[in-house]
Amino acid sequence: MAVLVTGGGGYIGSHMVWALLDAGEDVVVIDRLSTGFRWAIAPEARFYEGDIADAELLRRIFSENSVDSIIHFAGSIVVPESVADPLGYYENNTVKSRSLIASAVEAGIPHFVFSSTAAVYGTPSVLEPVTEDLPLRPESPYGSSKLMTEIMLKDTAAAHDLTYTALRYFNVAGADPKGRSGQSSALATHLIKVACATALGKRASMNVFGTDYPTPDGTCVRDYIHVWDLAQAHLKALQRMRAGGGSLAANCGYGHGYSVLEVLDAVRKVHGSDFPVTFAERRPGDPAMIVANPGLARQELGWTPELDDLEGIIASALDWERHLMRKNSAG
């Protein structure tokens, strides 16, 4: 049986494709290459260029491949961009996911893994790491667009022969330990990516967005998870559903948070030199602090993270950034 990866040319999707191939799976990718890259998709995967809402293309993919599972990464991912363009985010993340889910139901695909996000919680009402039963109160259209897809999946799973796992990722960072993929988009806005690019001189400077949050040092706190550990959680979710496990929404994070300033200090330490930072206004849509309680994923998926080390995550991100610099200078 084959696994269809939507958004397999993107940051997390390209790692997932490698993880699936490493595990001996047959892999098919659909990606419209809006933020992803053809070269980022492992050559062993079969690639279809197009949109997840193109029902005709999905029918062709399902007729040409024995797909039993979909892992759905394709979407728009930048929180402040979603505040400026909510309808664009509801279109690409919610409306198009609805179309993809309808294609899955029509083709009788039994298993579906969805890239959800910590942003579904908004700013939690408790200081402890969040569990899945807390109220879901997204603070950005991005978070709402993802929560709506979780709701569609829940209702669809109740009505049809489809089992889903929604993995609520916390802040994904780092690169494939074997150096085959990493965060490659020059437009990426993620903290660790931006800090590594600044440390290496690819950017002149960077901003710290907000220093007056109700956190120990005034900057936002996040739970940074290594992209390779995250890909392994998806493999576990697939195995569990194939073995008859039911639908589930589970956090993927490590259970401890770092402030923006702590992350920048770690980048300075790993890189070995300082770089320019500007203290700027808060960025719209940012919750002050969010950290995962990963107990459910550990217990239900049997997921055991192996790369829980901020400096290790940063070292792999720096390595990938250097690789991109060599690749670009070679033309």
Ligand X SMILES: NC(=O)c1ccc[n+]([C@@H]2O[C@H](COP(=O)([O-])OP(=O)(O)OC[C@H]3O[C@@H](n4cnc5c(N)ncnc54)[C@H](O)[C@@H]3O)[C@@H](O)[C@H]2O)c1
Ligand Y SMILES: O=c1ccn([C@@H]2O[C@H](COP(=O)(O)OP(=O)(O)O[C@H]3O[C@H](CO)[C@H](O)[C@H](O)[C@H]3O)[C@@H](O)[C@H]2O)c(=O)[nH]1
Decide if residue 172 touches ligand X (CB under 6 A). yes
Contact 48, 57 (CB under 8 A): yes
Q: Which is nearer to ligand X, 227 or 243 (CB)?
A: 227
**Residue 206 binding partner per list ligand Y, ligand X, none, with a CB distance cut-off of 5 to 8 Å that depends on partner kind:** ligand Y
Annotation marks residue 142 as catalytic: yes
Q: Taking CB positions, which residue lies at the least distance from ligand Y?
A: 220
Q: Which of residues 142-171 bind ligand X (CB under 6 A)?
A: 169, 171
Using CB under 6 A, list all residues that contact ligand Y. 77, 79, 117-119, 169-171, 189-191, 194, 206-209, 220, 222, 260, 283, 286, 290
Answer yes or no: are the C-beta atoms of 275 and 268 closer than 8 Å.
Answer: yes
> Does residue 10 bind ligand X (CB under 6 A)?
yes
Contacts of 63 (CB under 8 A, 6+ apart): none
Q: Which range touches ligand X (CB under 6 A), out of 6-14, 128-136, 157-165, 191-199?
A: 6-14
- Write out the binding residues for ligand X, residues 285-324 only, by CB under 6 A: none
Query: How far lies 139's CA from each of 15, 34, 108, 145, in Å?
Result: 28, 25, 34, 11
From the list ligand Y, ligand X, none, pick the one residue 222 interacts with, judged by a Cβ distance below 5 to 8 Å according to partner type.
ligand Y
Which residue out of 89, 121, 142, 258 is catalytically annotated? 142
Rg (CA), the chain: 19
User: Which position has the token pair 């900057």?
Assistant: 219
Report if residue 73 touches ligand X, rule: CB under 6 A. Answer: yes
The token duo for 52 is: 């997840």
Positions 25 through 54 that interact with ligand X (CB under 6 A): 30-36, 51-52
Residues annotated as catalytic are 142
Binding site for ligand X (CB under 6 A): 7, 9-13, 30-36, 51-52, 73-75, 77, 92, 96, 115, 117, 169, 171-172, 185
